Amino acid sequence: MYKRKGVTLIELLIVVLILAALSAIAIPRISKSATNAKAKACDTNINILNSSIELYNADEDGYPTDLTTITGSTVYFPDGAPKCPVNDAVYTATLVNNRVDPTGHSH
């Protein structure tokens, strides 16, 4: 009796279909996770900017008139001002109640 070793075309097709179904589920979730991570990084940047405003207030006994006073200083941001990781934009220079307003920066 002769027995063949190998994979039939039907078995190979089933494996390919299973992999395609799994990737159809996984790829959108992965790309959504990347977008969510960038949005969270943007929120963190806004918190860092607000913390730097408080440090400026402690150092200078007063709040800055605009954000460029903080972001332009190498004391607070030696590597330069943070940018939004979602759209690579700088944060608005206008402060609302001595804070960077997160609602003014949406994505």
The answer to whether residue 29 is domain-embedded is: no
- Span 80-89, pLDDT tens digits: 999 999 888 8
Chain segment 30-79, per-residue pLDDT in tens: 888 988 999 999 999 999 999 999 999 999 999 999 999 999 999 999 99
Could you give the C-alpha distances from 107 to 22, 37, 39, in angstroms and in order? 29, 13, 8
Number of domains in the chain: 1
Question: Is residue 32 included in any domain, yes or no?
Answer: no
Tell me if 14 is assigned to some domain. Answer: no
Residue 99 lies in a domain: yes
Domain for residue 3, yes or no?
no
Considering the domain boundaries, does residue 84 fall inside one?
A: yes
Q: Which of 78, 98, 100, 99 is nearest to 90 (CA)?
A: 100
* pLDDT for the residue 20: 96
Query: Domain span at residue 47?
Result: 38-104
Looking at residue 50, what is its pLDDT? 95
